[in-house]
Each structure stands twice: as C-alpha cells, then as structure tokens.
Structure 1
Amino acid sequence: MAAAFGAAGAGQLGLGDEGPISTSYRSLAVPSGLRAAAAGAYHSLLVTTDGLVYSAGKNDHRQLGRSGPAGIFKRIEAIEVASIRQVAAGEDFSLMLDDRGKVYAVGAGERGQLGCGRQTSEEGHRVPKIIRSLHDVPIVALSVGGRHALALSASSIVFAWGENANGQLGNGHFVPSYQPTPIPELNGRGVVGLAAGRQHSLALTAASELYAFGANEHGQLGVGDTKPRLRPELVRAALRKGLVKVSAGDFHSLARSATGHAFAWGGNQWGQCGVGDDADAILLPREIDSVQEHGHIADIATGKRHSVLLVVTSNQTTPTPSTFHKQLLFTFGANSLAQLGVAAGGDHSLVLYEERAEEAPESKRAFAFDDLAIAMPIAALTADQVRELARTDRPRLHQQLEIMLSSAGCLNAAFLTTTDRPADGVIVALGQVRSFFEAIVALNDEHATEVVSRALRKLFGNLQHISPINENHYLFLLVLLECPLLLKPESHSVPLEGLVRVFTQVTHQRSDAVGEHMLKSYLHAPVTYLHRAVQVLQGYLSHLLTGRGTASEPVYLTCVSLQALYFLNKRVDKLKASAFYNDHIGSTPAMLQEMLVWVLNKSNVFSFCMFPFLIPLPVKEQIVFQASQAAMMQSAMTSMLTGAEAPVLVLKVRRTDILEDTMKALSMVSPTQWTKPLRIKFEDEEGVDEGGLVKEFFQLVMPKLYAHAFVPMESEGLRWFWFAGPTEDRLQAYYAMGLLFGLALYNHVLVEPLFPSVFYKMLLLADPEMSQLTLDDLASCAPDVAKGLRSLLDYDGHNEKEVFGLTFELSHKDVDGRVETMELKVCVCVCVCLCVLVTPVLVSDLAQANRWEMDVTALNKHEYVQLYVQYYLYERVAASVDAFRTGFFMIVQKTPAFYMLQPRELELLLCGNPEYKLDQLKDNARYINYSAKDTVVQWFWDYVLALPQSKRRRFLMFLTGSMRVPVQGAKGIKVTIQRVADTTRLPVAHTCFNVLDLPPYETREELERKLGYALEETEGFALV
C-alpha cells in the first residue's frame, strides 16, 4: 500500500484532479505489494514486488517513461523483460535498477543526467533505455539529485554523471559528465550508501564515515563552512555517530544512526532541519532530539524544503503528524500499520506500508529496532551466505566471491564491528573473517578456490586506483592475512607481494597512528588471529629466501610488515618472541658471515640485523659470540706476537676462600685482558683447565656473591634476588658480579636464573631510559607492591585520598632496617631547579607552597605510580645497579650485536633455555667403554625419557649442574657416559664436563633404583 501528502499540482501524488495540495496523507490507488518508491521534483515512481514500475506527475520531458494520463499512477510498459528493484527520480529524469544490476534512464538529458553519451543525452529518452557504459558493471544502488546521478557498484565503486556546476560529481572540476565516471577518492572506502541533493552529494561507508561534495552555500555538506567542495571530503563532525543512512534535499541533509537517532544540517529557512533553531543554516550535523520521546527513527527522507522521519513506537496505533515549524514530521505506529519506508522529493512525500491483520505475528514488522543496522548492498558475503549460495546457486556464489575479494572497498566493509569503547571506532571482526574463509574451504570446490586466487591477484592491481586517507581504508589487509590460501606462498606470490607493499606503506611510511589504529583489531581478538598473520608473512619470507635470496625488495617489505606485528605484540605480549624467528635467516655460512660483517661495519645496506626480532636466538648467539671471539682472537694474537701477556685470562683462586680470592683477582685484571678466554687455576691442584673448571668456578663463587650482597625475595613459592642499598662493600660485590656475568656470557657458561625479568631489561637500557620501566616490570620484582599500585590505578571512584591515604612522600625500610623517606614529587622539582634555576634551596619552598599537590588523587595517580616504579626499581638502588652495569659492560661492549637482543633473549643467553627435549641429549651422547646398543645404556635412556617434567629438570641439574640448556636446546650439550666397574656405587655426574659414571648394573630395577636415589640427593643453588 502507499500513501501520499504534499504538493499535487503536477499530479505527482497520483490522486487525479483532487487539487494542488493534499494536507493529510491519502491512500493511493495502486497495486498492492509495493517494493520501493521515489519522489522527484514534480513526479513520483512506485515499484511493485513483481518488479513493475508505475509513474505519475509532470511529464514534460517524458520522465514518466510512458504516455497517457499523468495525474494517476500508470505502469511503464516499455520495460518488458527486466524486473525493477529500485527507482530514483530527479528534476526531469528518472532512473531504474533491475535485479541484474542494469540501469535504465528516461527523460531529459541535456546536462548529461541520462548517462548515455553527449549526443544521446541531449536528445533525451522517451522510454527507459539501458545505460550501456554500465552494462558490464553490476550496480546495486542509485541516487539522483536535481540533474545529476550517483550509482554504487557491487564492488563498492561510486559512479557519477550529469550536471556538475558546483562539483557535485566529485571529480575536481565543474564540467558536466555525459557518462558514468568513477569517483577516484571514494575507491576502496567501503561505500555502502549514497544520497544526491539538488547540487550536492553524500557517500556513506560501512565504517559510518560520511563524505560530502558539491554545493555548500547553506552548509549542506556539514563541514562547518559554506565553501563548495569539488572532491569528497570527510565530514569529521559526523564521526563516531554510527550513521547508517543519509538523505539529501535541495539545501539540507539528514542522517540516521544505528541507534535510531537522526541528525540534520544545511539550509533551515523553513525549519526543515527540525533542530529547534531559527538560524537559516546549520553548518554541522546536529541531532533532532525532539522526536526521541516518541520512539526510534527507522527511516528518513528529504524533499526540496522539508524532511520526513519514520518513527517506530510501541504505544501508537495510528499515524500521528506533528509540526516542524512550517513543515511536518510524520511518525507512524508499529501496531496497525507496518511501514516499509518513506520517500520525499520536491514538495511532496510518499509512504509505503502494509495493512496487517490482528493475528499477524509481531515478527512480520518491516521495521523493528534490531533492523536499524547499516544496509549492505555491495558484495559482502558472510559464512552463512557462502553456505546458502553454495547450496542454491553456485554460479552466483562464484560471481560474488570474485567481486568481493577483488575489491578493497568490499573487504573494508564486509566484516566490521565495534568495541565497548566508542573511541576505538570500528575494527575487523576477525572471527567472522575466519568463519568466512573456513566456509569456502569446506566446500571442497576447486572452482571456488580458483576464483579466490584470481580475485586476490586482481585486487592489488586495482589498488593503484585508490587513495586511502585513514586507518579504516586499510582494514582489508587484516582480512587477507586470514586467508588460508596465502599460507601457500609458492602459488600466491603476486597477492602476497602486493600485500606486503601496501602493509609497509600503512605501517611504516604513513603516520604511526594509522598503522596502530589499523592493527587494533588484534587487541580485541584471541592470539590465534595475530599468530595467523605472522604465519602468512613468515611463510612468504621463507619462500623468498629460498628463491630470491636476501637482496630483493619484497624481502625488505616483508620484514617491515612483520616488524609492525612484532611491535604490536610487544604491547600485548600475546606471542612468544620465538614466533617471529625465521629459521632460514642465518641458516647458511654465507648469510651468517654477511650479518657478522654488518655488525662489525654497520651501514645502511640491508641486513637482517636491522630486524633482529626475526633472527633465531641461536643465530644471534653466534653473531654475538663471533663478534666477541674476533676481539678475543685479536687480543690473543697481539699477546703472542709481543710475548707480553698470556693468550688467556687466568684467575687463580683457593677453594677455601673463593669469594675473597675472586674479588682480589678481578681487581687486578687489566682492561685488555677481559676479552680473552677465561681459565681457572685452583691453588694446589694439578692440571690444565680446558673449560671444565670454569664451569665449576661459577658454580662455587656465584652463590657466595648472591648471599653476600643481594636481597633475597620470595612470593608464591618462587625466590629471586634484588639489589640492596649501596655500601662500599656491596658496590665492590656488584661490580664483581657484573664482571662475572660478562665473563659467563662470553665463555659460554650458564648462570642460574636468580634475577627477575626486569633485571635483563635494565641491562639493555641506557641510563636516561630507566623512565621506561613499567608497572609490569615492577610486578616481576615485587609482585605484592605492584598489586597494590595496580589496585590504585583500577580504582574508579573519585576519593583516592580518603580510600588510599597516599601522598607523594613514601617510606621504605632498607635491607639494613633503616627507614628511608622520599618525596617523589620533590625529586622531580629538584631536577627542574637544578637544571633551570640552579637554586636547590627553592625546592623546600616550592614543595611547601604546593603541599596540596602532594596528595595522590585521580588526576595524578598515574604519575605517582610511574614515579614509584622508577624509584623502587632504580633510583633507590641506582648506585648498586650502576656498579653491576659498569662491571658487565667492561666485558660486554655496547655493540650493535648486543643491542639486537631483547630482555628475554638476554636472559636465555645468560641462564639457558628452560624448554628442551631430552631425546636430543640422547642423540648427541658419546660413550666410553659403552655403546648406544648396550642393554644398560638402553635401560638408562628408557628411564630418563619416561621421567615427568619435574624430575627431568632434576636429572638435568644432576648431570650438568643446571636446570636449563643452551639456547639451541639439549642438542647443544655434549654428554659423555662412561663405564665404571663398581656396581655398588650410585651413578656419579661430573657436572663441570657433563660426564656420567654409569656402572654396568645387572638389572633394570637396580639401575632405576640407584639412579632415582642419585637424583633425589641432587642439590644445587638453583631455585625452581
């Protein structure tokens, strides 16, 4: 059914000769089952559910597409084959869109509004004719203005043609266009809605971004001024409003949000904006809040000088008009009438509705509040739609897949969602993306797979025609990174190269904010989605390295793309660092040598050392050690040539006084000796150290140093050490410990993991960078303290002072029992005074004068926490930490090789890897007076490999003196099992040399009993 109201002088209401104006809505005598309506300046169009078109109104340019009576609705019979689904009416022409995506035009064409070429357009059309230039482009939506038109293709490309005196075609000039022409600035934006006013145009994206262009003398573009725009401009005032539909009148515009709110802007001389303002122009979108009490706005329409809002309510039973200044706002109830939509044009309006019987189910309503989401006319399939089309229409499925996956616009629009934080804007629903691709894979349709591959190749060819301006226009990259076909780079190198090229432009060449916003979808998704993206890029990089080598541009672009994901992961800590390692990097001697040369002679030439997160830790270890070995060999060669010094660094110590002797010996070493290989000489013991005694030395001296100077800490069964306040004795010990850690690193000796993770971060930070320490860092050292600070940050009340009672003055008891008091805020003021005023005496006066600022409040609690973290971890023990760092860097030079390491990697190099496979230990084992096939040896390995994880660690401790293995895993340990004759003895391990004395026990039970007893008796300074 249809109803109409407004001007009727030209017959545009289809009421015959009932007068020039209808002051109330009138039902029209038209066929039931209407599908769509359109209102032009002086004529109207209706479409039935059968795809037939009826027209009425002014026909001076044959815009009705028929002859005969103009004052009543009559069918356009010239369209015989096509089934029309949408119509659009301008000032003197009409457009029609059929179910195949073909566009028909009829009426006047002197300004190009028919889109059929200059000569044909000037003659006009008496009957609807197909626009030939769009014949091969499936169109899904139309909108017409006074004498120009907009069309949206299934691939989200916007075409414009017709009059262009004010730039309403968005092509940058004022010349009319006689054929549909794409608007380049809208390509790739994900446009899903269009609205053409008299001389201005609007385009709405799936991300609810509104673009406006054309005439603007009344502010109808909503950009805050009255200057015309010749190209699409983002309406920033409409961002974050969740717009889902727009409509454009002669001089004003309307928009509706997903939450059922309406916004208006532009000309308001007749009150057509409805915002309760007498101003002649509204320059920015403003909400029409006067109708909210009646219900939710379900549809909008604009005429020449009026607006129509369709409001869905739950309590009204009949349509109720209310006055909008001199115009009318019509609200229609949801009980007796189920409205299908509204249309307005010129000075008249049309309403489509269906009469509904009382027993009709409530779900039959055309507009429920849940239905207010944005329309998606473009090719944007969901997983369910893929499965449904696969069942009912495979050819259409293949067609839609090709359109969708070859269009950045479609991919940018297809899988959007929002978070709980409006400021986040839209993100990609990665779960929906994965379900979509899984639905395609589940079809086992080879043709569908070929279609997807072909579409992806076309996609990046089309990208040269788009000009993205913000993060929402790059979201299609995240969709592609979910595509399982790209896990096979040998078959999809073309789209992968295009992907990394664009990905690099976004995350590296554009602003950091664009890349960060684009990637925020991963922050709201499980880790598996970020892992898939890394897998795709790593697979492509491996493919390149096995084919093109390291010098190609795609290799560099892929590394930059992975870098963006790596930096993102550092923020959320979802993936282990090893997830970014590429095993092909450093896998050949030539590649390893190339990286070593780069480290020693740093240059701007590409090297994987520029992307150290990609380098596997065993390769980094080789680079670090080979760089240091080069220094060691140079030092040794110099010594041998001059005869001045021994080629090794020898420390002579007594076992009984190992701590004192070590401190003394270290103090006597000259700087040129630190890079020499370390050897240990125990007093009154014969033999030459070939490395075994070095390991034993560290096992003996490190526990004593920990006990001598460090503070033991404990939480939830875990123990670790931290620095104490500086004393002369402790500073010497910390300096010595730093030296020993450096010697351990360069002599391949593992030390026990007795420091929290922040310790290794602090080794890699320069002094001014200590401000980078975070609350998470504090949690690794003092979890209980960090927990209290986090509760302060999480508190969402506004009376922190009363609840927590904190000030910027804190008291802390040091290891010696002394209470230290520190004004955190004053610490900052001291720096300012010293650096700027050079008058420290002002500090006390300043602190006293601003005493109110010292309380911890909601406004300054983040500053308080940051100052507390920095004070606790560094400032209160700064001299102690610096003494350790000084000793460490006496040996470990601050070279590019060292700073390629991340804190966790440095910990693994120093302390070893806690993850290992004991079967690798078995594979590398050597035997003395035994063989791998001997029964006792087989019993031994059967028992060891069957141990639970906790006992495996104890076994490793028993055999090697450490519960960890080198970074390359258990295969980096060379174990020797030697036969000893006395079967009454327990197995004995010489941890310095990784040698096991294993008697030839007669039974498996005896071996297991005695070996188990030996493991139980194992002791060590390591802390589980």
Structure 2
Amino acid sequence: MLQRDPSKDYKTADDSGIHVEYVNAVYDTLMKAPNEVPKEVLKAVINSLLKDRKNKDHRLWPHTKDDLRAYLILLQNPQFSTLSTYVIFAHLLRQVAALSDHDHHFLVHWIKLLERDRFKGILERLHNFIACRLFPPKPEDLPPLAKCSWWIPCATKVMALLNAANNLAQPPLVAHTDFYNSTLDHLDLMAEYYAWQNPSSHAGFSFCQYPFILSIAAKRSVLQKDSEQQMIIQARKSLVAKVQRRQLPDVGMLFLNLTIRRAHIVSDSLNEVARKQHDLKKKLKVVFAGEPGLDMGGLTKEWFLLLLRKIFHQDYGMFTYDKRAGVHWFSLTPCENYQEFNLVGVLMGLAVYNSINLDVRFPTVCYRKLLSPAVVPFNNPRATVGIVSVTLDDLKILMPDTARGLQDLLEYDGDVEDDFGLTFEVSQAEFGQMKAAALKPGGENLSVTNDNREEYVSLYCEWVMNRAVYQQFAAFYHGFHSVCASNALIVSLGFIGCHPLDRTLCCM
C-alpha cells in the first residue's frame, strides 16, 4: 500500500512513491464499509501512533521514508471528520507537527502532489478540528481544554505545512482564502496579537504566528485596533511632555493637524508631512486654508481624494496605469527628486493607520516588496529595501500585454535571434529622450537567442519590478513604514497572494 514499486527506493522530495490510486480506493471503500471495519482501522491507527510515542525524543528519532509515507496516508483518513475520532486525530497531528525540518521538507513536497480533492479534504478536517476545539458543540464529548492545550497549536502547524505546499504548487491546489478560518473572527484577536508581541510575558501559541489562517476581517481588525492603541499612546506622550514643561495642554496636540491650500495641495502636503514627522502616528485631521468647518472625517477623505487624483494621474508622471490589469505601478523613468514618492508612501500608511478607504490598487508584488524587509533597517538609511524575487507571473498581473509578448517569445518555434532581432537591453524615456538600459553588463552587444531567451525574460521582469523602480520604491517604502511600523502590518501582509492590505486600502 505504501509504494507503487516496493523494489524501488524512493528517496526524493519529487515523488513519495505512494500508490495513490490504491490509497484512494481503500479510503473510499472504508467509508462505505460496515461499522466494524472502520473501528478496526482506527484501532490499527492507535497502535501505530502508540508505538511511535514510545520514543521519548520524537523529533530526533531518525524517521524512515516509510514513516513519512505513513503519516501522509493517515492524514488523508476521512474518518477524522467526526468528533469521536478527534483524540486520535490530535495525537497524529502532534507527531506530524513534531517532525524535524528535514522531514517536514519531504512532507511539504509530497503534499503538493496530492489531488486537489484529497488536499481540500485534509484542509477541511483541520479547519473543523480547530473550530470544534475552540467552540465544541458538546463540550462533554471532548477532553477539557486545559488538558489538551496542545491540540490547536499542533493542528495549526500541520496546516502551515499544507499552506507551504499550496504555495509551492503551480498552480496552487486551492485559493489562499480557503485557509481562512472564520471561527477565529470570534476570538479576542488583540489578546492573540499582544501575546505574540510579548513572548516573554505570554509564552505559548498565538494565531498571529500563522497569519494565513486569519480572515481579511480578522487582519483588518488587528490592524485597526493596533492603530488606535498607537494613537492613544502618541497622544498620551504629547500630553505628558506638555505637562512636564509646565505648558497648558490643548486638544490640537492630540492630533496630526494638516493645514492645506487647495491650489498648492501637493507642495503643502509635502511640507506639512515633512514638518510633522513626529506626529504621524496621531489621529489625522485636515483643514483647508481659508475654509470654515471642522474635520469630522469628510475633509480628510476629500484631501486624500484630491491629492491622490493629482499624484496618480498619468500626466503627473509618477505612476503608470494599466487599464487591462487595473493596477498602478511606479514610473520607470528616473527623476531628480523622490520626495513625492515618499509622500505617497506616507499617504498609504496614513490611510491604513486611519482606516480610510482609497480607490488605489497596486499589484501583489508591491505588497511583497513592502515586507522586504518587514522592519525598516535601524540607523542604516542606505540599506537595500524592496528587492524581491519576481517572475513572468508577477508581470502578467502588472503588465499583461507585455507579459503576453514575452510569453510568445518563450514559446516561439522559429529562430529568435533572426526573427526578433533583440538584444539584452530595453529602451526608456529619460527627461524627454529615449535611452537604452542594458539588462546585464554588455547586454547591448548580446543577442537574444533560443538558448538564452529565458534569461532575457527573467532579467526583463527583474528590471521592471526591481531595478528600474528602485529609488522610487525605496522612497515609497520608507514613507509607508514611517507610519505603519508595527507587527500588526506583518500579520496583515504575512502571506503571498491577494493581499489584505490591498483590500484595506480599497474596501475599508
């Protein structure tokens, strides 16, 4: 049952060697069998797990590949869908979670080869297991939570293996949203967040360690409440500082107050943000010069709308917009001053921080770049930021027409060098003139051929999403993190895919 060919030694991560059709047939038959048969199977599972438990140091025990195959087969057991099997299921999850990193590596690569339905079956059973352990329909049917506090951490760690496998699979076996567990929306998420932020005083497990399992609503809640807490802290600091200087406190000191002239909205915004760097984490309030009225939220939203409409207009030259993709990207043209890109980063940060809806969409690679690194390098303004690995799939989201042309180049059956006449360079507008940029040293003299076209496509993607926009994005990155320097952001952006921050900006 374990191997398709018992005489063959399967030792690679590329093939588990499991006789998949046979395993599937056994489980399908098991679910239709009389009650006595499933009970006997569960007894066999218990004996197997108890045998494994005899070794005290489970992690260090050298597992054979047959052991790992057995774990993978047991995880697919559909019997673990029922509450009565959860005690056995929990012990299986505990042993899988405790495997070494080396063993996890093999399991992840084998899991990504599962059929979609089998993969979804494991995922659904894990979701139900976590939900029922947190909120049991009949508490008396399960052991007291205090005696099995390890159940949920082990299940979540195994789910992390599935998430890693799903990210490796091309295409992914399931949508990233299938990993969301909406049951967690009913937990005290801020308690989870604070426990994660303060491991010394709250030792143990937190769902914030595994952001892929948190829904968009959960992530947004953590981000919003964390922002509110930071606003209170900043306001309190200002108040204490005033009192210590024996000055009379005023209400205005509790806010980030921006006074803007409509006719000079970009320059005034730049100056105000630069002048009030230390107040960026206070609650935002905007006043238009010469106009009466209190900002109850409407003026702030109008300021965002007018400023972003100006900055993101293609005639302004800072960003491009692809109508087919529906996303903005940084202009590939170098400029003399990157302050305005820093301002846009601050604006995006203020929008997230103040829970303001902005109708601006960036491609997913932008959010990966914002986490590279997730924490701004301390006292090193020249540290490299925003550089990530990119592929043609990323370019398809950003520039679908350009990506289609590159895909055609890769699939072309004729002579690429003669028929396309390309070299390893690209043309770009720079201060009103077209200039060539080499994709690699000496690229202007290197022809693109059938043999090196994959390298050309890879370098082109690297140029569009990293090299050509490095200064622009670095300014944007530092502006954003000057406001949103928080672990809550890591929770919100903590997975690759359709980013919740994008939805936070567009759907608040």
Q: TM-score, normalised by structure 2?
A: 0.80
Check conservation: 1:471, 1:517, Cα contact below 8 A: no
User: Would you say 1:755 and 2:362 are equivalent positions?
Assistant: yes
Name which of 452, 456, 475 aligns with 2:45. 456
Alpha-carbon deviations, 1:193-219, whole Å to 9, x = none? xxxxxxxxxxxx644445xxxxxxxxx
- Relative to structure 1, the CA distance from residue 768 to residue 471 in structure 2 (aligned partners, 3 Å threshold; closer, same or farther) is farther
Q: Percent identity?
A: 24
Q: Is the 8 A contact 1:648 1:679 kept in 2?
A: yes
In structure 2, give the amino acid aligned to 1:722.
W
One-letter amino acid matched to 1:743:
L
1:892 counterpart = 2:490: no
8 A Cα contact 1:538 1:582, kept in partner:
yes
Code of the residue aligned with 1:540 in structure 2: it is F
Matched, 1:736 2:328: no
Partner of 1:548: 145
Match of 1:534 in 2: 123
Q: Is the 8 A contact 1:679 1:689 kept in 2?
A: yes
Aligned partners of 1:646 and 1:551: how far apart in 2? Answer: 50
| Residue aligning to 2:321 | 713
Partner of residue 191 from structure 2, selected from 570, 587, 593: 593
Question: Can you list the C-alpha shifts for 1:327-361, whole angstroms capped at 9, x where unaligned?
Answer: xxxxxxxxxxxxxxxxxxxxxxxxxxxxxxxxxxx
Tell me how far apart the structure 1 counterparts of residues 63 and 477 of structure 2 sit (CA, whole Å). Answer: 47
Q: Does 1:502 align with 2:95?
A: yes
Distance 2:464 2:211 in 1: 31
Does the CA contact (< 8 Å) of 1:674 and 1:891 recur in 2? Answer: yes
Aligned counterpart, 1:929: none
Which amino acid in 1 is paired with 2:88? P
Q: Which residue of 1 aligns with 2:425?
A: 810
Does the CA contact (< 8 Å) of 1:537 and 1:558 recur in 2? yes
Give 1:569's aligned amino acid: N
1:727, 1:568 → 2: CA distance?
42
Distance 1:768 1:738, change over 3 A: closer
Task: Provide closer, same or farther for how the CA distance between residues 520 and 571 of structure 1 changes in structure 2, counting only shifts above 3 A.
Answer: closer
Q: 1:480 aligned to 2:70? A: no
Q: Distance in 2 between matches of 1:722 and 1:757?
A: 11
CA contact (8 A) 1:749 1:910 kept: no
CA distance in 1, matches of 2:146, 2:496: 29
1:446 aligned partner, one-letter code:
N
1:491 maps to: 84
Shift of 1:561: 1.0
Structure 2 residue aligned with 1:727: 335
Measured at CA, do residues 438 and 706 of structure 1 come closer, stay the same or move farther in structure 2, by a change above 3 Å?
same
Structure 2 letter corresponding to 1:865: V
Aligned residue identity for 2:31:
V
Matched, 1:679 2:311: no
Backbone CA RMSD of aligned residues: 3.5
Residues in 2 aligned to 1:433 and 1:423: alpha-carbon distance in whole angstroms: 19
TM-aligned CA deviation for residue 744 of structure 1: 0.3
Unaligned runs of 5+ in 1: 1-155, 157-189, 191-204, 211-233, 241-421, 827-846, 914-963, 967-1024
8 Å contact 1:430–1:521 — kept in the other structure? no
Q: How far 1:890 moved relative to its partner? A: 1.3
Partner of 1:542: helix, strand, or coil? helix
SS in 1 for 2:84: coil
Look up the match of 2:140.
none
5+ residue gaps, structure 2, are 56-60, 136-143, 243-248, 374-383
Report the 3-state secondary structure (helix = DSSP H, G, I; strand = E; otherwise coil) of the residue aligned with 1:503: helix
Q: 5 Å matches for 1:609-1008?
A: 609-641=208-240, 642=242, 643=249, 646-669=253-276, 671-707=277-313, 708-714=316-322, 716=324, 718-724=325-331, 725-728=333-336, 731-766=338-373, 767=384, 770-794=387-411, 801-802=417-418, 804-807=420-423, 809-814=424-429, 818-826=433-441, 847=442, 854-857=446-449, 860-893=452-485, 895-900=486-491, 901-902=493-494, 907-912=499-504, 965-966=507-508
Moved more, 508-517 or 461-470: 461-470
- Structure-2 separation of matches of 1:624 and 1:796: 50
| Bigger fraction of residues in helix | 2
* Pair 1:457–1:597, CA change in 2 (3 A): closer
Deviations 1:778-797 (A, max 9, x none): 22112222233334445688
Q: CA deviation at 1:677?
A: 0.3
State the Cα distance separating 1:870 from its structure 2 match.
1.5
Q: 2:121, 2:62 → 1: CA distance?
A: 25
Mean Cα deviation higher: 578-587 or 626-635: 578-587
Q: Determine the C-alpha separation between the residues in 2 that align with 1:580 and 1:896.
A: 21
Alignment-derived partner of residue 304 in structure 1: none
Aligned residues: 470
1:515 counterpart = 2:107? yes
* Cα distance in 2 for residues equivalent to 1:423 and 1:811: 39
In the alignment, which residue of structure 2 is the partner of 1:367? none
- Higher gyration radius (CA): 1
Contact kept in structure 1, 2:15 and 2:110, CA below 8 Å: no
Deviates more, 1:527-536 or 1:883-892: 527-536
Q: Deviations over 1:901-929 (max 9, x none)?
A: 2467884335449xxxxxxxxxxxxxxxx
* SS at structure 2 position matched to 1:727: coil
Distance 1:703 1:859 in 2: 45
What residue in structure 1 maps to residue 58 of structure 2?
none
Question: Who is 1:1013 aligned against?
Answer: none
Q: Cα 1:515–1:660, aligned 2, differ >3 Å: closer, same or farther? A: same
Deviation sequence 1:612-631 (CA, Å, 0-9, x none): 22233333333333333332
Structure 2 Cα separation of the partners of residues 460 and 423 of structure 1? 24
One-letter code of the match for 1:501? R
User: Corresponding residue for 1:339?
Assistant: none
Measure how far apart 1:580 and its partner are. 1.7
User: C-alpha offsets along residues 98-150 of structure 1, whole Å, 9 cap, x if unaligned?
Assistant: xxxxxxxxxxxxxxxxxxxxxxxxxxxxxxxxxxxxxxxxxxxxxxxxxxxxx
| Aligned mates of 1:550, 1:788 — CA distance in 2 | 60
CA distance in 2, matches of 1:464, 1:209: 29
Q: Distance in 2 between matches of 1:495 and 1:691?
A: 54
Cα shift at 1:679:
1.0
Shift of 1:714: 2.9
Q: Distance in 1 between matches of 2:419 and 2:340?
A: 42
Give the 5 Å matches for 1:246-265. Answer: none
Are the structure 2 counterparts of residues 736 and 423 from structure 1 closer, same or farther at C-alpha, using a change threshold of 3 Å? closer
**1:441 counterpart residue number:** 31
In 1, the alpha carbon distance for the partners of 2:146 and 2:182 equals 14
Higher normalized strand content (fraction of residues): 1
Q: 2:356 is matched by which residue type in structure 1?
A: V
Hey, what's the Cα distance between the residues in 1 that align with 2:361 and 2:353?
19
The correspondence of residues 47-196 of structure 1 with structure 2, limited to 5 A, is 190=2
Question: By how many angstroms is 1:675 displaced?
Answer: 0.2
Q: Report what 1:359 is aligned to.
A: none
Alignment of 1:596-607 (within 5 A): 596-599=194-197, 605-607=204-206
Distance 1:815 1:432 in 2: 63
TM-superposed CA distance for 1:648, in Å, is 0.6
Summarize deviations over 1:647-701 as a string: whole Å, max 9, x none: 01111224454344333332332x2200000012133433322223222322222
Cα distance in 1 between the residues matched to 2:431 and 2:327: 18
> Structure 2 CA distance, aligned partners of 1:617 and 1:687?
35
Contact 1:710 1:721 (8 Å CA) reproduced: no
Partner secondary structure for residue 733 of structure 1: helix
